[in-house]
Amino acid sequence: MWIAVVTIAVIALIAGLALSFASRKLPSDPADLVEQINDLLPQTQCAQCGYAGCRPYAAAIANDHEAINLCPPGGDDTLRRLATLLGKDVIPLAEAPPEGHAVAVIDESLCIGCMHCRTACPVDAIVGAQQLMHTVIEQECTGCKLCIAPCPVDCISMRTV
């Protein structure tokens, strides 16, 4: 009876070691890498990287179709974390922000309160109510410019702060 228990224990130990070795040496599931990259991105869905959102950009990075330095809202911190995760060198952001950064500004005398800009803002940096003036919270604005096109009265411009 003891021989059977020892035999099963040895087989289980060998199988465990083999699985451990295989998990380290074999490539992981690409979907896991996409999720890890996506978790590091700021989730602003601003499209400044050229993709419709953070997840498509993460998939492009995971498949080596895109550089890791295309996320201005993520900044240098996100760039360093991505480089560490992927074992790549830290490179400067593709679009280095100018002195300060760009934010949207609403000319409040022209704003009609249509809410188109507010619904277009991926980070909820625009506050206001229906039929009332809107304004931008500068600390929250990523400068993505997604609020400019939907404005029917062209009262939104970009300013460097």
Q: Are 90 and 81 in contact (CB under 8 A)?
A: no
Task: Kindly report, residue by residue over 132-153, the tens digit of the pLDDT.
Answer: 888 999 988 988 899 999 999 9
Q: Is the pTM of this model over 0.75?
A: no
Whether domain 102-160 has CATH 3.30.70.20? yes
Looking at residue 142, what is its pLDDT? 85
Looking at residue 99, what is its pLDDT? 54
* CATH 1.10.15.40 segments of the chain: 28-96
Spell out, as residue ranges, where the chain has pLDDT lower than 50.
Answer: none
Q: Are 105 and 159 in contact (CB under 8 A)?
A: yes
Q: How far apart are CA 94 and CA 96, in angstroms?
A: 6
Burial class (CB in 10 A: 0-12, 13-18, 19+), 43: middle
Following DSSP, what letter does each residue of 19-34 receive, concatenated?
A: HHHHHHHSPPPHHHHH
Q: How far apart are CA 34 and CA 59, in angstroms?
A: 5
Taking Cα atoms as reference points, which of 94, 45, 44 lies closest to residue 67? 94
Query: Can you list the positions of beta strands (E) in the chain?
Result: 102-106, 126-128, 134-136, 156-160
Judged by DSSP in three states, 135 sits in: strand
* CATH 3.30.70.20 segments of the chain: 102-160
Taking Cα atoms as reference points, which of 48, 35, 94, 34 lies closest to residue 68? 94
Fold of 28-96: 3-methyladenine DNA Glycosylase II; Chain A, domain 3 (1.10.15)
Q: How far apart are CA 47 and CA 54, in angstroms?
A: 8
Q: Which tokens sit at 75?
A: 């900044």
